[in-house]
Structure formats: structure tokens, C-alpha cells
Amino acid sequence: MSQCLNPECLTINPDNFQFCQKCGDKLLLVERYWAKSILGQGGFGRTFLAVDEFKPSKPFCVIKQFLPQAQGTETVAKAAELFAQEAERLELLGKHPQIPELYAKFTADSRQYLVQEFIKGETLQQELDNHGVFNESQIRELLIDLLSVLQFVHSHNVIHRDIKPENIIRREADKKLVLVDFGSAKVIPKNQGLTVTGTVIGSAKYSAPEQSMGKANSGSDLYSLGVVCLHLLTQMTQFDLYDVMESKWVWRDYLNGNFVSDELGKILDGLVEQKPKQRYQNVENVLADLKLSSYAVSTTQKNQQFSRNFVSNNVPLVSARGVNYEKLHDLLAEANWKEADEETERCILKVARRVQEGWLRIEDIDNFPCEDLCIINQLWVKYSNGKFGFSVQKRIYQSVGGTREYDRQIWEAFCNKVGWNQRGKWLYWDNLTFSLDTHFIGHLPVGMRPQWERDYNIKSYLVQRFLEFNI
């Protein structure tokens, strides 16, 4: 099939037709490119997926057609200038492996065109819509990947000015993040520094305050990247995450159980600081702090593992009550989450010596050995890469104000965050999500399977007990 490029037609035609069967326009652009379908449309133009007939493999490419939506001679002239400048910027920056390469720029049938590399993959917005919120590990990887791209862009005295999830594609071939759409980017004269006063441009949801006043700088790109991270962590917009009345960010209130360490939280706060002078000034400073925070988190985890005598694959799992944890270890190592949760319950009952009864009393929880709780927790944390485990649930419980005193509202808030209560309904065990794909951090282990409406008091007491342990 071939897509007509006439903006007033856009008819889909059968293959091998040379002219549009409706409007009669020629379909093969400059005797080389067949447009196949519309990819999208913005304020300055429309993009098409196309095939390059000149190359033996006939690879896909992207055609961008200048098609301003704004009215008025001055506005259209400005749009044409920005469209032409995009070609210059792509030619300057497109040699970076994570920026689309410019193939051609020309005018045909009185319309301007750019042809550039096609990046096959999902945008971050599509990933969010299809797979749910990102976790801390994903955000760290995203920052490291994209900051290196921004470092390259800024080193050429260019600011992007439109960083948003829709303009970041995870390339299918190598999973690298690719920054696209340089239609709003700006080249800054070297003697001017990376600050520019000019057109108000970019997406309002992700734009820094100074950019909204036409005074974008390199820090504006960092601000937008920070807001992207907050959106991916919460699925909320900047307008929801910033309290205008209090003049402060409240993004932590919308994590819904998605754990973010203090170290990463401080970096995100530094990226989205409203006052430019108090924000990160350059990419290098953010990368340095990321490296330090990663080292701090890694060191803390190693020290905790050493101090608690947590086991490796080569060291026996030593229980205070003689319980064998090898089966639990193997199930978790194989990512058999449902069976592992059943085995966790069996282990807990064995430790409490309540196998025949099949349930726990409050005194059983009070006397539960710390060593065994730590072993179970360490195995869950290790094989879920920090997404599941008693220690994860403990942090979430504390984040909603949980203490050793039972409070129904706090307990329900905790259950909402870990996904045990969804849309006001308590989930039975069989209805839980036994997969790492769940967007609920701390969703597992359940440990003891209550019939939610009847037994949640005992379950809440077990979670409260975590506060007494150094897990």
C-alpha cells in the first residue's frame, strides 16, 4: 500500500500505483520514497513511515512533511524557519547512535520535506501505558542512558526544548533510548552560553518555568527530564504532582507503593527545582550524584547482607527452628512466584510450629525468630530484584504512617499501595498477580493467606511485627 502525501487527500493506494487513484498526485516522492502510513502529526508537520527504494534492502525511513497548523504570515514564517533549522540540527547531531540520522532535505511540489532514520520501538509513553509505572531501577537506567545523550547535545550548544515520554523511543534492536523530534531544538551561539531568549515552545506539561517565559537553557532540558521521570513513576502529570498553593512538589504522595530511595529522590528533586539557579546546572553533576547514590545503595545492601549473615547460593540457609529453605530458594530462583508464596506460608507455619492448625496466633507472631524472617525476606528481595519482600512491605507500611498500633485506615492505605485491595475490593489470594509484571511494589509475598474480610487483623499484625526487625 502507498500513502498519498497530498495534505488534502491522504488516500491509501494499492502497491505499484504510480499516481493517487483519487487526486492524481504522484506517489513516489522524488522518485525514491514510498510513503506507507501516517506516524503522527504535530504543530509543524506530519510524519510518515516510508520505504527507501534507492537502497537494495529497501529499508524503512521517516518522511517529515512541513505542514504548519498555526495561522498568520509571521507564525507560518517562524514555523518554516524552525522546520529548516531541524534539518541543520539533525545533520549536526545525527551521528550520535541515540539520535536519528538525517538522510535528506528537499522541496517537492512546493512542500518541504525531511527524511530521517526510522527508529523501531516503543515510546516511553507507550511503555507506561502498556506495562505500568517504572520502578527505581528502571528510572536510574533511563537517567544514565539519556543524560549521556543530553551531554552530547549540550556539548554542541544545542538545547532540545521538548523532552517528553513521546519523544523518547526504546529501540527494539538494542533496548537503547533514542531522543527524537528536534523540531523545537535551538542552537545557541557559543559566546552566549546555553541560555536563549526566544519563542515559547515545548510541551507545557514538561516545560520548566523559565522556558514557559521564552528563556530556555540547558537546565530546562534537565527539568523536563526530571518531570518525565516523575510521570513514569506515578502516571500523573506535572499539574497533579506540583502543589501550586504550597509551591512545592508532592510527587511522593502519588507513588502508590512504588518505592523510591532517598538518594534517588534527592536527585529527582534537584532536577525539577523550580528556581533555575537551585537546579542542577549541567549533566555532569547529575551523573556524578547518580554514581555516588548507586554506590551508597549498593554498599548499604552489601553491609546489610553481611551483618545479617544472609546466605549466598553456596552457604546453607540456617534457620533458628531447623526449617529447610532450599525449596523456597529454588522456586524463587525459577520465578515460580505463586508456588513460592505457598511455600513461604508453609515455612512460616513450620517455624511457628502451627502446621496442623494452619493459621497463626498473635503470640506466634510475637515469638517469630528474626533469623527466619530475614532469610525469607532476603530470598524474595534477591530474586525479585528488590520489588518483593517483607522489607519492601515494611517501607511501604511506614510511608503511610504505619506503626505497631493497628489503625484500620492506615492498614487499608497500605493494602491499596501493595495491590491487595483494588478499587475498594479485597482480593482473594487466587486473584493476586504472581508476576514481576505487576506495577504494585511489595505485592508479594503474602506469607499467610487470609480470607481478606475475615482475617486481615492477623495479617496486619504480621506486617506491624516487621517494624521490630532490622530487615
Enter the CATH code of domain 2-117: 3.30.200.20
Nearest to 417 by CA among 257, 258, 260: 257
pLDDT for residue 37 is more than 80: yes
Q: What's the pLDDT at 306?
A: 37
Q: What's the pLDDT at 391?
A: 86
Bin 434: left if φ > 0, else alpha if -120 < ψ < 50, else beta.
beta
Q: Any idea which of 374-378, 401-405, 445-449 has the lowest mean pLDDT?
A: 445-449
What 88-96 contacts at long range (C-beta under 8 Å, 24+ apart), as own/partner pairs, is 88/187, 89/158, 89/182, 89/185, 89/187, 90/114, 90/116, 90/182, 92/156, 92/158, 92/187, 93/152, 93/153, 93/156, 93/158, 93/182, 96/149, 96/152, 96/153
pLDDT for residue 152 is more than 80: yes
Could you count the other beta carbons within 10 Å of the beta carbon of residue 40? 13
Nearest to 228 by CA among 294, 154, 162, 132: 162
- The Cα 93–Cα 249 span in angstroms is 34
pLDDT for residue 454 is more than 80: no
Q: What's the pLDDT at 445?
A: 93
Q: What is the pLDDT of residues 273-295, one digit of tens each?
A: 999 999 998 999 999 888 877 65
Q: What's the pLDDT at 320?
A: 83
Nearest to 157 by CA among 184, 182, 183, 191: 191
Amino acid identity, residue 334?
A: E
Domain residue extents for the chain:
2-117, 121-292, 326-468
Q: What is the pLDDT of residues 242-265, one digit of tens each?
A: 998 889 999 998 987 788 888 899
- The Cα 32–Cα 3 span in angstroms is 14
Q: pLDDT band for 407, please (50, 70, 90 cuts).
A: confident
Q: What is the pLDDT of residues 173-230, one digit of tens each?
A: 999 999 998 888 888 766 555 544 455 455 788 999 998 888 889 999 999 999 999 9
Catalytic residues: 162
Q: pLDDT band for 451, please (50, 70, 90 cuts).
A: low
In terms of pLDDT, which residue wins out, 433 or 451?
Answer: 433
Produce one character per residue of 176-196: b if its CB has 16 or more CB atoms within 10 Å, e if not: ebbbbbbbbbbebeeeeebeb
Domain 121-292 has CATH 1.10.510.10: yes
- The Cα 52–Cα 240 span in angstroms is 44
Single pTM value for the model: 0.63
- The Cα 455–Cα 436 span in angstroms is 26
User: Which three cell numbers, joined as nine digits, stand for 368?
Assistant: 517469630
Q: What's the pLDDT at 190?
A: 61
Helix (H, G, I), strand (E, B) or coil at 23: coil
Look-up of cell digits 544514565: 144
Region 154-166: mean pLDDT is 93
- The Cα 1–Cα 14 span in angstroms is 5
Q: What's the pLDDT at 310?
A: 39
Percent of residues, the chain, with pLDDT higher than 70 = 86
User: Which three cell numbers, joined as nine digits, stand for 339?
Assistant: 508456588
- The Cα 52–Cα 33 span in angstroms is 5
Q: What's the pLDDT at 313?
A: 42
Q: What's the pLDDT at 180?
A: 93
Mean pLDDT for the chain overall = 85
